[in-house]
Amino acid sequence: MAAQTIPATIDAVTPGWLTEALRADGALTQGAVVDVDSEPIGLGVGVMALLYRLAPTYEGGDGPRTLVAKLGSQHEQTRQVARGYRFYEREVAIYRDLAPGLQLNPPHAYAARHDPESDDFIVLMRDLGDHRVCSQLEGCSVEDARSVVDALATHHAEWWMSDELAALPYMQTPGDAPYPQFHAQATKEAWTACAGAFGDVVPVSLHPIAERWADIGPAMMEDTVNHPWTFAHGDVRLDNVFFDDVAGSLSLVDWQIGFRTAGAFDVAYFLGQSLKVEDRREHEDEILRAYHDALVERGVSGYSWDDCWSDYVRSAMFSFCYPLTAGASLDLVNDRAVELVTSMFERVSSAIVDLDATRYLPE
């Protein structure tokens, strides 16, 4: 079976497919995979796709002891969201074209394939199981948060207003068609679907905003083209961050949302989702100032502290769409996924209120 074949399900990741994929990458120079065990991982962590840890058995050669395979969701509504935003196509392209040189150290991809007709995809990647992870629900330490934001500053500075980035057809801004139009469609009834399960954790003052998000969200997306941009990861939260304490570095996974927008978006989303509310309140100004200082030190010019702060607050407001979309459209298959969306709503709502972020709502 050719390595270019796109497995639609984990059952299609056969020993033959895996042999050819690893040979094409150079990770298997002789012999073959004769058996492969798989187990689902990340349940309730990645709600847009399915993750599996693979343990191949080799004959006549040797290759990676374990790998991680990421495949498309089998949930129809989730697939519609993924296709509308081109999530699977984009992640494969980023792993294929950009990942090896990124400062945020995505895991090596042994294979990255996408079928534009079916929207099936697979990213077969290095297993980061030896790295330290932090609980998304519990939140990370302030020290870990500083490390993540400093790494973001290095990445953002490298790609600040990059012509190379702008030339890539899959690295669009949120304001480029058809994303605002699809966002309006995808969130039209989102609060109606969310209110019963999550309404109690969202302040009543924000309910009218949630109800009107199909107008608010697209208008905010279209406004992003009026601000300096860089290569934003788009989903920087603890479930996607792996710490290598030996090397003193970290790796980010889950690149399907990657786009061109304000770098402060990644910071606002990360601090708003991955710190406990009290830690964010106490340290966000300090951490964001360190981020801005690092941008300037690494060559970004013409971007003031006031610009950075306003981008941060505006991004905190827009981040409301993440739990809204997740709660309404995705496959919340287990208690952990429900807890994750509940936490997202609680934390983003508190950030919006604390920062008075509603002042950035479009007229």
Q: Per residue in 155-192, is it b (16+ CB within 10 Å) or e — as a string?
A: bbbbbbeeeebeebeebbbbbeeebbebbbebbeebbe
Amino acid at 122: I
Q: Is the pLDDT of residue 2 over 50?
A: no
Nearest in space to 89 (alpha carbons), one of 258, 280, 272: 258
Asked which of 68-77, 87-96, 118-127 is least confident by mean pLDDT, the reply is 68-77
Could you give phi then psi for residue 210, rounded to 5 degrees? -60, -40
Proportion of the chain above pLDDT 90, given as a percent: 86
Give the pLDDT confidence score for residue 300 in this predicted structure.
Answer: 98
Is there a contact between 68 and 41 (Cβ–Cβ < 8 Å)?
Answer: yes
For residue 45, CA distances in Å to 238, 239, 320 come to: 10, 6, 18
pLDDT tens string 198-213: 999 999 999 999 999 9
Mean pLDDT confidence for 230-254: 96
Give the other-Cβ count within 10 Å of 71's Cβ: 22
Q: Is the pLDDT of residue 4 over 90?
A: no
Cα 88 to Cα 104: distance, rounded to the nearest angstrom:
20
Give the pLDDT confidence score for residue 360 in this predicted structure.
Answer: 96
In this predicted model, which residue has the larger pLDDT, 84 or 281? 281
Report if pTM > 0.85: yes
pLDDT tens string 168-187: 999 999 999 999 999 999 89
Nearest in space to 19 (alpha carbons), one of 10, 11, 28: 28
Residues 294 and 344 in one domain: yes
Residue 73 lies in a domain: yes
For residue 228, CA distances in Å to 72, 105, 106, 300, 310 come to: 32, 24, 24, 11, 12
Give the pLDDT confidence score for residue 121 in this predicted structure.
Answer: 98
Mean pLDDT confidence for 301-313: 98
Pairing state of beta strands 109-114 and 121-126? antiparallel
Proportion of the chain above pLDDT 70, given as a percent: 96
Q: How many CA atoms lie within 13 A of 186 on its CB side?
A: 27
Residues 203 and 92 in one domain: no
Residue 157 lies in a domain: yes
Residues 191 and 227 in one domain: yes
Residues 115 and 148 in one domain: no
Residue 5 lies in a domain: no
Residues 153 and 220 in one domain: yes
Residue 132 lies in a domain: no
Mean pLDDT confidence for 231-241: 96
Cα 292 to Cα 245: distance, rounded to the nearest angstrom:
25
Position 314 confidence tier, pLDDT thresholds 50, 70, 90: very high
Give the pLDDT confidence score for residue 319 in this predicted structure.
Answer: 97
What CATH number does the domain containing 121 carry? Answer: 3.30.200.20
Taking each helix axis from N to C end, the angle separating 335-354 and 321-329, rounded to the nearest 10 degrees, works out to 150
Provide the residue range defining the domain that includes 256: 142-360
Give the pLDDT confidence score for residue 331 in this predicted structure.
Answer: 55
**Is the four-CA dihedral 342, 344, 348, 350 of positive or negative sign?**
positive
Beta bridge partners of 112: 123
Position 1 confidence tier, pLDDT thresholds 50, 70, 90: very low
Asked which of 105-114, 192-201, 266-275 is least confident by mean pLDDT, the reply is 192-201
Counting the structural domains of the chain, the total is: 2
Give the pLDDT confidence score for residue 42 in this predicted structure.
Answer: 76
What CATH number does the domain containing 147 carry? Answer: 3.90.1200.10
Mean pLDDT confidence for 244-261: 96
Residues 225 and 277 in one domain: yes
Mean pLDDT confidence for 212-222: 97
Quote the tokens at residue 266. 């990644």
Domain final residue, candidates 126, 156, 173: 126
Residues 331 and 285 in one domain: yes
